Chain A
């Protein structure tokens, strides 16, 4: 069995196979795979006996359910008002500079994707960003470089896979 199919089967065993279990299953796949491929969605549709188009339509409603290939680490920088006021642009520049990608892109080694998102609920500590599920706040360009370096180190550099 394909590993993704197996993952989906396990998720369905765990959450159930009703329509109301769709979101947790989509989330479970994204958690592991970082995005929902065509194959994943077809498998989910099959497992839950749902139309594939419905799975696609539902998934694309939610901005955290990516449907294009994403890096291992998805960086989501808040672009809403307070973060904007408090220097979100510099944060973006710092990241773009360091990873050599712009918003919406993934590093060639497949490690990082850079996205923007709406208010993360840390406006009092703006600017803020998420890396996968980790929150980082009161960012400055220096701080961002440190954080990214720690990810690069942890993972043995950009060329690790």
Chain B
């Protein structure tokens, strides 16, 4: 039983549950206490000291984020003592910081900058330490730029990488003035276990961790009249982009986004949702084939559970952490890479274009997709399948640069051929979505009937629980699937790599007997991806998820195999799922990697 206590904040009395921190109590009382190292997704560190407050009767100031309230406490958040100290702390942070805002990628969306402007730190009294320090700027990763000169050492990235992702690519090293955020033996981030998920970027308050951006490259391609620039947009982008452009969190902006992309000058605007549907056809068939090989043929070479492969952060994770389990991965490429491979083959042929002249761009909620596009094996079209990957944030920047008044845009439709999608493709953007989409199609394929869930909504795999489980019993299958009669298909869904790790451990220990598992590297799935708008929080991800499911519910078609363009591509080009051509273009292989 929690008991309620009363405290006052700046003289205003509030009643809160025992154990509430001063920070939360203040929020409840409508008082904002500035923070820097605090993040809702992470454990409390209490190291930046920006949130200090005065407790009447105590000599020292107290960190509001790290201190529970006590009954009768009188808290002052804006006393002279607090103000002077807080200002000092911000000044100190700035003195150690390469405060070069006009040339900083985070200019305009930076918590440190915000603090500095709030406290009107106009002078530079303290000695500028930044120029005297040796800093590293690591620009070698295709996904991430890590600039230590912008780091305030709040350790949010480290806590993210450890607590949310269980990767531990980042660590705090050394002590005193030498203390810094780095990797194992200070190697390049591209040489360590980092999955390029970008969650650290989403949680970094400053410009110390940002995505490697390819905005200029894409502008150049668009301007090049000899190039045909094709763009694809991932499912989660349409529920995130609005946030960067003045809409409320969770606003769906699909049609406006398409219109904006056309205005930016892309030659064709198509949808990754299309290849998400295609993934379902390939992956669903692969699953059923595997089930047959295991259950009927007892083929020891074929591994179950089968794990999804559409999250490149997850792929890199398993390559580093569980390299002995790579055979469990579906061989399907991610929808992005399927799209890329088809753009320079199927699409080129259909439009009578020389694939050499096609530049394939993708808009992703994800930084790992940048890494994925850069993998040497992703050249199955004979060219680099995806040339440039932009995050949701980069697209927003381009839209602003182009002077497009996004709010005023009229909705437009995707271009044909690879632009049609179903609700199943859309929900790829949320945790559980791939599973739900796969079940909608696979169940029907096997039984000839729709999945036995109301309105096709497979509720058990939805929601923000770290690991979700569902069992679907197959009854009265069609003749060719008779071997599945009575089989209870055990499914699991994990999002956030720390949860993926838990599921993998339980598989390694032999405790889990799943058939099929969906893994997403980022908390909430792609909608919480490392390329999505900053900030992020459980509430924000929840709103984006609601938007995704609303988009699904509003689609005329909800099942991948109903997608007319999917039917067409199999008829005209691929023949059937897992055909030789699909194998060549849509499937891939994996590489074991080191664990440090």
Contacts and interface: CB of A to CB of B under 8 A. Distances in A.
Interface of A: 38, 41-42, 45-46, 51-57, 60-61, 67
A42 B169 CA distance: 13
B174 A52 contact: no
The secondary structure that dominates the B interface is loop
B584 interface: no
B168 A60 contact: no
Contacts of A56: 171, 173, 184-185
B230 interface: no
B596 interface: yes
Contact of A52 (B172, B182, B595): B595
B427 interface: no
CB-based closest 9 A-B pairs: A51-B168, A57-B171, A52-B596, A53-B171, A53-B184, A60-B173, A52-B184, A57-B173, A60-B174
B160 to A, nearest CB: 13
A54 B173 CA distance: 9
Contact of B168 (A41, A42, A53, A67): A53
Interface string B164-201: 00011111111100000011110000001100000000
A45 B173 contact: no
Given A38-B185, A52-B184, A45 B171 contact: no
A53 B192 contact: yes
A42 B596 CA distance: 7
Nearest to B186: A56
Contacts of A53: 168-171, 183-184, 192-193, 596
Interface in B481-510: none
Contacts of A46: 595
Contact of B175 (A38, A61, A67): A61
A12 B171 CA distance: 23
Nearest to A63: B175
18 contacts: A38-B185, A42-B596, A45-B595, A46-B595, A51-B167, A52-B184, A52-B595, A52-B596, A53-B596, A54-B168, A56-B184, A56-B185, A57-B172, A60-B173, A60-B174, A60-B175, A61-B175, A67-B185
Interface residues of B, number: 18
Contacts of A60: 173-175
B185 A41 contact: yes
A67 B172 CA distance: 15
A155 B183 CA distance: 38
Contacts of B595: 45-46, 52
Given A45-B596, A53-B169, 16 more contacts: A41-B184, A41-B185, A46-B595, A51-B162, A51-B171, A51-B596, A52-B184, A52-B596, A53-B170, A53-B184, A53-B193, A53-B596, A56-B173, A57-B171, A61-B173, A61-B174
Contacts of A61: 173-175
Main SS at interface, chain A: helix
Contacts of A41: 184-185
Nearest to B179: A61
Nearest to A55: B184
A52 B184 CA distance: 6
Contacts of A52: 168, 184, 193, 595-596
Nearest to B178: A60
Nearest to B158: A57
A41 B168 CA distance: 15
A53 B175 CA distance: 15
B172 to A, nearest CB: 5
A72 B415 CA distance: 70
Nearest to A51: B168
Nearest to A61: B175
Contact of A54 (B171, B174, B185): B171
A76 B241 CA distance: 57
Contacts of B193: 51-53
A8 to B, nearest CB: 15
Contacts of B167: 51
Nearest to A67: B185
Interface in B126-178: 162, 167-175
A61 B185 CA distance: 13
A46 B595 CA distance: 9
Nearest to B175: A61
Contacts of B184: 38, 41, 52-53, 55-56
Nearest to B596: A52
Contacts of A38: 184-185
Contacts of B173: 56-57, 60-61
Contacts of A45: 595-596
Nearest to A42: B596
A45 B162 CA distance: 15
A54 B595 CA distance: 12
B305 to A, nearest CB: 23
A5 to B, nearest CB: 15
Nearest to A56: B184
Nearest to A36: B185
Most buried by B among A54, A57, A67: A57
A51 B184 CA distance: 9
